[in-house]
Amino acid sequence: MPHRPTLLQRLALLLLSLVLPVLMLAVTAACFFALTSMGNHDRTLVWVEGTPAQLAALEQAVVGHPVFRHGRVGHGEFERHRPASCGPDLACASFSRLHDYELPVAKATLDQLVRDSGARPCRAHAFVFNDLPSPFDPAEWGESLAMMLLMLLIPVGSVLAAYWACSAQFNLPGLRPAAAATPRGLSRALGVALLALAWVALLEFLWPLLGGNTANALRLPPFSAGVLVLAALYAPFLEELAFRGWLLPIASRAIGEPAAGVFSALSFAALHLPGGAAATLSAMGLGALLAALMLRTRSLAACILAHGSFNTIALAMPRESLFG
């Protein structure tokens, strides 16, 4: 007769099932705090107009400044930060890689250099906080590599190390990509992604009827190659490893598979509480479908594929086609 865990053992297993999700969240938050609060990634900008000679003099002064060494002047840059009161034909001058306490002095210095050049500044001014270096700009590879190591490799390494250290003891599922690469595995993963999108669309349809406002269940950033990598690979891998690979099997030992599936979905939804009620319900539906997929297929790779497909399709679709 199999041993039935006591109530205290069940509670201990449930707490243990939350260890890896909490570790993932804590390490990621710590890395994000270190990157954004302890780094020098802020930028001050001003838009100016003037003759070619004036703009050339301004560029020489800004680019060659002895204190603020990361200056630039150009047209058509930082358009989404340009105030509406400044015309699109104006040049943009900026100092970057600043600490927040340097911003007022850098702004005053930039304004003085504009006046000295004879150019005419737009009255509006802008700051860009956490203007992180782009890994696609060769001039910033050194700093962007450090950023990627901090934000990507440290959380992944921490979660993987804990997972592998305990995988044999708790009989955790392996990745086994081949299990998700079969026609049946691919169709199930895509089906879960489409069902999750249908759940989000239903929330968007019903939300105005219930509360009078749009749900905005998916708070999606603008599409870019970096965002696609994060949405299609990084986030699905980390979250599925923590919630369906770790939490679900361990919680199943305490309360059984159906209840563990619900517990997994609720825990996954709790991760998305900062996004608001609609985003939390959206995550709950996705978490429930992914838990069902895991219990059905026993394939962690299938869950990663389904989660990544959901994020990719939602990111790539025109917003009005899903939410209109």
Question: Which among 237, 234, 231, 196 has a CA at the least distance from the CA of 217?
Answer: 196
User: Could you tell me the residue ranges of all domains in the chain?
Assistant: 7-35+142-323, 42-128
- Residue 208 backbone phi and psi in degrees, to 5: -60, -30
The residue written with tokens 């919630």 in the block is 243
Predicted confidence band of residue 275 (pLDDT cuts 50, 70, 90): confident
Burial class of residue 246, CB neighbours in 10 A (0-12, 13-18, 19+): buried
The answer to whether 312 and 305 are in contact (CB under 8 A) is no
Contacts 24+ apart (CB under 8 A), 131-137: 131/41, 131/42, 131/43, 131/96, 132/35, 132/41, 133/41, 134/226, 135/226, 136/225, 136/226
Average pLDDT estimate for 117-137: 73
- Predicted local confidence at residue 103, as pLDDT: 86
Can you read off the two tokens belonging to residue 49? 């107009």
Average pLDDT estimate for 83-93: 86
**Whether the predicted pLDDT of 254 surpasses 70:** yes
Q: Considering the entire predicted model, what is its pTM?
A: 0.73
**Percent composition of the chain: helix, strand, coil (DSSP 3-state, to 5):** 70, 10, 25
Burial class of residue 303, CB neighbours in 10 A (0-12, 13-18, 19+): buried
Q: Work out the number of other CB atoms within 10 angstroms of the CB of residue 51.
A: 11
Specify the amino acid at residue 259.
A
Predicted confidence band of residue 174 (pLDDT cuts 50, 70, 90): confident
| Stated length of the chain | 324
Predicted confidence band of residue 183 (pLDDT cuts 50, 70, 90): confident
Task: Please count the CA atoms within 13 angstroms of the CA of 181 that sit on its side-chain side.
Answer: 4
Average pLDDT estimate for 100-106: 86
Predicted confidence band of residue 219 (pLDDT cuts 50, 70, 90): low
- Predicted local confidence at residue 159, as pLDDT: 92
Which H or E element spans position 286? helix 277-297
Helix (H, G, I), strand (E, B) or coil at 40: coil
42-128 CATH:
3.30.70
Predicted confidence band of residue 252 (pLDDT cuts 50, 70, 90): very high
Can you read off the two tokens belonging to residue 131? 């203007």
